[in-house]
Chains A and B, each alone.
Chain A
Amino acid sequence: MLKFAVRRLLLLVPILLGLSILVFLFVRALPGGPETALLGERSTPERAAAVRAAYGLDRPVYEQYGSYMGKVVQGDFGVSIQTQQPVSDEIKRRFPATVELASAAILFAVVVGIPLGFVAGRRPGSWVDNTSTVGSLLGIAIPVFALGFLLKYVFAVRLGWLPGTGRQDVTITTEHPTGFYVLDGILTGDLPAAWDALKHLVLPAIALGTIPLAIITRITRAAVQEVSNEDFVRTAEAKGMTKQVVTRRHILRNAMLPVATIIGLQTGLLLSGAILTETVFAFGGMGSFMAAAVFTRDFPVIQGGILFLAVVFVLVNLLVDLSYGIIDPRVRTS
């Protein structure tokens, strides 16, 4: 198990190296550099050259890459051209928002999807099954941002039940020791603040969680149906085990294996959806930050952000693979 984890982590090195070269070349191939975004119409050739020199962009690319990687190894991703803050600080501030949003989305998908898929799989053809099939189809087919619009329009604009933008009410001034606003509220004992942050999470989490919800429901349904037809389930029932025990120990546990794979894959894919969701709900996380950086040609942010996200992506997938061992003892021994 440990050997497997270490090997996977070592595999990260060539990926990151390749990725860093790719991203480095990519940002330098973008039409218009940071000087265009910074200077805009005030740009003159001299001013542009001065900006480029200030950020070291006038040096040969391999030289820039060498000095950049030298700093990255020490955890220094450089300074954002737009905000003039260290990129690592920006990531520290925004990444918790994305994690909070993504966790809420996955939680929503798992808590609703697994029971729904389970009931649908145990009773194929029932109204629960049919509704969930049509519903999950819709969930996959609606563009994330359109669903975001719809939720915002109905629940925030029309009904006014939930807030439609931001992470917390602007009048709330709590300290943020962790950057996870809900957790911060609880830690500092400011429960109204935590409640407010939670309310801000609901709509974006539903918008972002709908695709994983649809997929988790479908996979759970298929897996439960397949396992229910296995011989060992029939044997367990024939032995006179109660329905509850058969369901929990034999069906659910075996059906969870493909579901775990899908949850992991979806967690990785959530980042794409997060870019759109964060933009719709003005939720200041990594996704919208990165998308904005591409538009403003904020080279250090694009470079640092993509490397950081790639590490997170690979780590999440590693955790998923390790979780197989917990669910399935057969994987542990082999």
Chain B
Amino acid sequence: MKYNLWFGIYEDGRVDKSSNLEESFLNAENEEPLPFSISEVGIEVFGGKTGYYASLRKVALAVAERLVERELRKEDRYVVALVKALEEVEEAINMLNEKLEDIRTVKDTEIAADFENKIEELKNLRKKIEREIEEIMTKIAPNLTEIAGAKVAAKLLERAGSMERFVKLPASKIQVIGAEKSLYKAFARMKRGKKAKIPKHGIIFLHPFIRTLPKSKRGKMARFLAAKIAIAAKIDYFRGEVDESLYESLRKRYEELRRK
């Protein structure tokens, strides 16, 4: 009988020690309980009790850290769900506000006050969701969040569906996410040989660096911002370190465009 142990394969009283302990650790699966003492075998293999447990702890920790990291990347799905929920809550607040106004113009009653309380509650919920989104975005994509702001970053992520898909998007696509309707309309016009206005920005228009520029310069800024967002997302996903130069270059470009 062969048995899979975290430090190798055990067969007929002999151990074929694994060259990759993290891999054998994850494959240490056996249908039946081991008919021998794994620690006794291991202590012999590692030349002592101290060595055995120190190695076991080290490998277990390394594997756990890797798995946790991978697992926590799923947090992006949570953000996607939160963004969707947030949009619904926002819509509800707007709609209820309208109805409240309708009631108020006719008669100010107790019901109107109740309405107002409910709207207040929803606003608190909105704030809570926004804070949660910000917290998670900062954790899973610090560079992206720094560059785009939590709100824009989360909305872009929601449209992409996941970080994995987001990092595969080219900057030119990121630039117009959220403006698909006018983009495809423009494409259709071009096909027919007509003049068309291609949108300069979608969701990223919400970014203060674009919103606050004169119309003629927004296109340039949007292109630049989208490029930096694409880079930031890739750094977050693949490298996981904070790169401060990104925000700096973005601010510089903004100042430049504003002065011109």
Tell me if chain B binds chain A.
no
Residues of A within 8 A of B (CB): none
Residues of B within 8 A of A (CB): none
